[in-house]
Amino acid sequence: MSYQQNLQNKFYDYDSASTEIVVVAIDEKSLKPDALGPLTQWPRMNYAKAVDILNAHDAAVIGIDITFPDYSIAGPEDDKAFADTLIEYGNVVLASRYFFDSGERGYEWPNETILEGDSTLGWINIQLDADGFVRSLPLFYQSEKGVIDAFSLALARTYLRAEPSDYRVIDGYFDYSDEISIPAWTKKDKTSGDEVHFM
């Protein structure tokens, strides 16, 4: 990495996290066999209870950055209970991701039962710089389910109740909503919604 690029990166490395954002993390202790066990074996009711608790403490919006592509090992009613909780509150954003396998584009979504919870979806794809830091991310991406925001933007959109305005990057700006424009840049000089753009 050149000195100039390294210096430029430093301008992006600042701490600006909002004090209104709380991260509820799944730590290593929780994943031990004598605790809750492997993440893939957790009942979906665990997540439903977490959503209940967070909403009881007035969470405005909740993001769960797990894609849930497989059905619960606890049975279909477990996924159904989680979906019912998502419907009850309507303030949960779930993760999805896109990938390329042998040149073919693929997607990973929550399973069909959880999708019935009608939660907003957000991409969890990120872009690593050469030094291993994340300083940019795809703003949105066209998919078989329509255009979907980055996970962080999906959370902000749910919080702000900001409806999409125009899924294009024009003259260095992305019109996130009628009231909000975000400075952005794109690796490709195109403005169609099926291109990957970065902020």
Q: Which two tokens stand for residue 125?
A: 């794809």
Residue 177 domain flag: no
Residue 170 domain flag: no
pTM value > 0.85: no
| Arithmetic mean of pLDDT, 65-87 | 97
Instruction: Give the pLDDT band of residue 10 (cuts 50, 70, 90).
Output: very low
Q: Range of 130's domain?
A: 3-164
Tell me which DSSP letter residue 91 carries. Answer: -
User: In this predicted structure, what is the pLDDT of residue 7?
Assistant: 40
- pLDDT single digits (tens) 113-168: 999 999 999 999 987 778 888 777 889 988 999 999 999 999 999 999 999 988 88
Residue 169 domain flag: no
Give the total number of structural domains in the chain. Answer: 1
User: In this predicted structure, what is the pLDDT of residue 33?
Assistant: 78
Residue 193 domain flag: no
Residue 198 domain flag: no
Residue 43 domain flag: yes
Q: Which two tokens stand for residue 164?
A: 């999409």
User: In this predicted structure, what is the pLDDT of residue 195?
Assistant: 47
Cα separation, 149 vs 48, whole angstroms:
24
- pLDDT single digits (tens) 14-46: 556 667 788 888 888 888 877 787 888 899 999
Instruction: Give the pLDDT band of residue 11 (cuts 50, 70, 90).
Output: very low
Q: Please give the torsion angle defined by the CA atoms of residues 51, 55, 59 and 62, in that order, rounded to the nearest 10 degrees.
A: 20
Cα separation, 156 vs 89, whole angstroms:
17
Query: Element (H or E) spanning 104, and its range?
Result: strand 104-108
Residue 173 domain flag: no
Cα separation, 167 vs 180, whole angstroms:
13
